[in-house]
Amino acid sequence: MPKELVAIAVQQPALQDYEEGPVPAGNIRIRVDFGAPKRGTELTGYHGFRGASFPMGLGNMCVGRVIEIGEGVEGFSIGDRVAGYGNLRETHTWNAERALPMSDRMTWKEAVCYDPAHFALAGIRDGQVRLGDRVAVFGLGAIGQMTVQMAKMAGASFVAAVDPIAKRRAVVENIGIDLSLDPTAVDVGEELKKATGGLGIDVAIETSANYQALDGAIRGLAYGGTVAVVGWMKECKGGLDLGAVAHFDIPNLIFARACSDPNRDHPRWDFGRITDHCWQWLSEGRFDCEEIVAPVVPFDESPQAYEDMDLHPDKSVKLGVAFQ
């Protein structure tokens, strides 16, 4: 029987058997080649928060090839490469209208960066990053990595990246940024002011859902600057001091979420437009995703790798899983 990765209880990943039924009309079945979990939202459920129930599937996106086609499906052939949402399992049966056909040049690592790209684009747009702006990105998981590249794409004249994990900073350093900061080693607010001639940055995009990072983002802003809060925050129990500078520098705090419709730019923009652009750009190779998806482990090692992703974040940027 095929297997899938599930959490059988809070923070207990395991491989379990599952059964397949016939492929329904309008659906396709794929044999999964690669996949990736999602750190932020997924780990929130894995830890038992936000109404999580168990067993729960673990994983966010999968890439594979079509092996069966249901009645009434057009536009797909056996062997086509496709991507889509789903937990880490050996096969998936997807509604054909929701499966994402992959271009010949597209890599699987680009495909699994589709979801983080949505939230990166929302942060860039809601933060109103404009040509020539100075931008700092806090948190360099997959969303932060994509945000750094989009800030450069949007014409930022200065891009700083902030994360305590050296492995993640190294990825953005390799693609070329202006400043890389370890918040455990320096005062981030001071360093951002110093790097911008005392003015501060125009836009901070906070993706880590860490209140100390949010505090650093506010303190590093120029007068009247903007913080786009992308990370899904939990209850604040310390690390944020709004009385220190916020009432003097009057920052704008914007809460961004790609899939919350109506969009801030409704009716011109909605979640569908965001997803369409992200898939198009990824298909065209507009982003460098090779080092973002690392490490890549065999599927049979995925329970231990998932535990490591949770307990040892310094070991990964975005975990990848290979099924072959």
- pLDDT tens profile 275-292: 999 999 999 999 999 999
Mark 288-318 as b/e (b = at least 16 C-beta within 10 Å). ebebbbbebbebeebbebbebbbeebeebbb
- The residue-averaged pLDDT of 247-274 equals 94
pLDDT at 73: 98
Residue 150, judged by CB atoms within 10 A of its CB (0-12, 13-18, 19+), counts as buried
pLDDT at 196: 98
**What is the per-residue pLDDT across 90-115, written as a single tens digit (0 to 9) for each?**
999 999 999 999 999 999 999 999 99
* pTM > 0.85: yes or no: yes
Instruction: State the chain's mean pLDDT as an integer.
Output: 96
- 3-state secondary structure (DSSP) of residue 94: strand
- The residue-averaged pLDDT of 246-262 equals 93
* Per-residue confidence band for 234, with pLDDT thresholds at 50, 70 and 90: confident
- The residue-averaged pLDDT of 62-88 equals 98
Distance between CA atoms of 123 and 126, rounded to whole angstroms?
5
- The residue-averaged pLDDT of 183-199 equals 98
Residue 232: Cβ within 10 Å count: 15
Q: Please name the residue that has the structure tokens 């086509």.
A: 80
pLDDT at 312: 95
- The residue-averaged pLDDT of 52-58 equals 95
pLDDT at 60: 97
pLDDT at 176: 95
pLDDT at 266: 95
pLDDT greater than 90 at residue 324: no
pLDDT at 39: 87
Distance between CA atoms of 266 and 112, rounded to whole angstroms?
27
pLDDT greater than 90 at residue 22: yes
**What is the per-residue pLDDT across 296-311, written as a single tens digit (0 to 9) for each?**
999 999 999 999 999 9
CA 76 to chain centre: 28
Pairing status of strand 134-138 against strand 158-162: parallel
Amino acid at 169: R
Q: How far is CA 20 from CA 69, 100, 160, in A?
A: 14, 22, 48
pLDDT at 292: 98
Amino acid at 320: G
* Ordered domains of the chain (ranges, CATH): 3-113+289-322 (3.90.180.10), 116-255 (3.40.50.720)
Residue 281: Cβ within 10 Å count: 19
pLDDT at 51: 86
**What is the per-residue pLDDT across 146-185, written as a single tens digit (0 to 9) for each?**
999 999 999 999 999 999 999 999 999 999 999 999 999 9
Percentage of the chain lying above the pLDDT 70 cut: 100
